Amino acid sequence: MAVPKKRTSKAKRNMRRAHDAINAPVFVKEADGTVRRPHRLNLETGLYRGRQIISDDAE
């Protein structure tokens, strides 16, 4: 069985855990007031980066 030869210091342990924090999800507020996740299509309006991707006729 693998056993560590030396005790891991608090500094090394905390450096390893530096990226383990949970972050709140990010939302982008559009000019028309709707919200969406970054780099995602706005499902309410069908727009992505100012272009109409999903037409209103599909509904």
> pLDDT for 2-31, tens place per residue?
999 999 999 999 999 999 999 999 999 988
Q: What are phi and psi of 11, to 5 degrees?
A: -65, -45
First to last CA, the chain: 61
Query: Pick from 47, 51, 30, 26: which is nearest to 38 by CA?
Result: 26
pLDDT greater at residue 17 or residue 44? 17
Residues in the chain: 59
Cβ neighbourhood burial of 36 (10 Å; 0-12, 13-18, 19+): middle
The span from the CA of 9 to the CA of 32, in Å, is 52
Q: Give this prediction's pTM.
A: 0.54
